[in-house]
């Protein structure tokens, strides 16, 4: 997951950085610094952030070379009716 994908995923879920930090059980500064590309979190924190987003329906898209290319909903969105 890239910082850009992280920001996009939060936006899609309408989550603040604080929401992601809480869901992933990491510090707010971990999310903030990663998204601003100040530093890369340790592997388990980055993994926890990704799992938190994925468990709420976001999928991460990569090309054939493993380069990040976007996000998608991993589960269909529920349509109100």
- Reported as a single tens digit per residue, the pLDDT across 23-54 is 999 999 999 999 999 999 999 999 999 999 99
- Indicate the domain borders of the chain: 3-73
Distance CA 12, CA 72 (A): 9
In this prediction, residue 78 has a pLDDT band, given cuts at 50, 70 and 90, of low
Quote the tokens at residue 30: 């971990």
CATH number of 3-73: 1.10.260.40
Q: Are 71 and 59 in contact (CB under 8 A)?
A: yes
Please give the sequence-ordered ranges of beta strands (E in DSSP) within the chain, or none if there are none.
58-62, 68-73
pLDDT for res 71: 83
């Amino acid at each position: 997951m890239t910082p850009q994908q992280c920001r996009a995923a939060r936006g899609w879920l309408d989550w603040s950085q604080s929401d992601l930090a809480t869901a992933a059980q990491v510090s707010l500064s971990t999310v903030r610094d990663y998204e601003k590309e100040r530093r890369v979190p340790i592997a388990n924190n980055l993994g926890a952030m990704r799992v938190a987003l994925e468990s709420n329906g976001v999928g991460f898209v990569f090309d054939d070379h493993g380069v990040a290319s976007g996000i998608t909903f991993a589960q269909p969105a529920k349509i109100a009716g």
